[in-house]
Structure 1
Amino acid sequence: MTPLFHLAFPVDDLAAARAFYGGVIGCPEGRSSDEWIDFDFHGHQLVAHLAPRGARSSNPVDGHDVPVPHFGLVLDLPEWEALRDRLQAAGTAFVIEPHIRFPGLPGEQATMFLHDPAGNALEFKAFADIGQLFAK
């Protein structure tokens, strides 16, 4: 079996999480309760737990302040472009606008950062050459 990740994270509004992850991002909903919702995040288990917002920070990467903590997916480029277009059509405010990071260098990638409705930072990236995922 290919390893899958399970990520539990805080949200302060389950309805907003459901609308964002289910509606905008397109994740099918799994089990849920009044306190949490499971989402199928491209085959990985993402669990939104009702909880207050916490402190956030950032680290500089390629001239941008990358939010920490964050999580996301590595997609193929056509999927990344389709998601970028859906997010832009939904009026998403990006923390870091969609762009190419490290152009012409090892690890060149398309990337974008945004916050979900509870303030959790998400990154979606794609590589023209997936072999560059861990390139130094």
Structure 2
Amino acid sequence: MTKPPSQILETAVYVDDLDAAEAFYGGVLGLEKITRAGNRHIFYRCGPAVLLIFNPDETEIHYTEGQLPVPPHGARGPGHLCFRATAEELDDWRHRLEAAGVTIESDMQWPQGGRSIYFRDSAGNSLEFTEARIWGIE
């Protein structure tokens, strides 16, 4: 029997403005850019995982002969993405985000322990920094 997946390798958010997303994820968050393909996508390294940022108008197009056979996909409207942070890093992130003009929507303590801060990216996606212990991960 096959084991369940051990971790998420990549995750995606969808944005209408890749330039604004590049300024936010590369500039404000400081993620390392892997590649950008025109107005279709930007990929960033995030620890051992990869963050895919797609323009849904481009990813909904069916591939043609000679292109990589990736099925059409995409989402519309705000999604959610959570970044892992230590308790010590949360205040640093809060200050960095506020200094960049990013509004913190919520700064909360979870009943089971752990803290999260919530904010939005340039496309309105709900982003979070949290301690992994909210999920029982140390």
Give the TM-score taking structure 1 as reference length.
Answer: 0.72
Contact 1:11–1:17 (Cα < 8 Å) also in 2? yes
Identity across the alignment (%)? 27
Q: Does 1:134 align with 2:136?
A: yes
Q: Which amino acid aligns with 2:109?
A: I
Match in the other structure for 2:31: 27
Match of 1:17 among 7, 13, 21: 21
Match in the other structure for 2:65: none
Cα distance in 2, alignment partners of residues 87 and 9 from structure 1: 19
Question: What is the CA-CA distance between 1:18 and the residue it aligns to?
Answer: 0.6
Question: What is the CA-CA distance between 1:4 and the residue it aligns to?
Answer: 4.3
Match in the other structure for 2:76: 54
Cα distance in 2, alignment partners of residues 24 and 46 from structure 1: 15
Match of 1:97 among 76, 101, 106: 106
Deviation per residue, 1:27-47 (Å, 9 max, x gap): 010011111000112331001
SS of 2:82 mapped into structure 1: strand
Aligned length: 114
Cα distance in 1, alignment partners of residues 12 and 31 from structure 2: 15
Task: Choose 1 or 2 for highest CA Rg.
Answer: 2
Give the TM-score taking structure 2 as reference length.
Answer: 0.71
| Runs of 4+ deviating beyond 6 Å | none
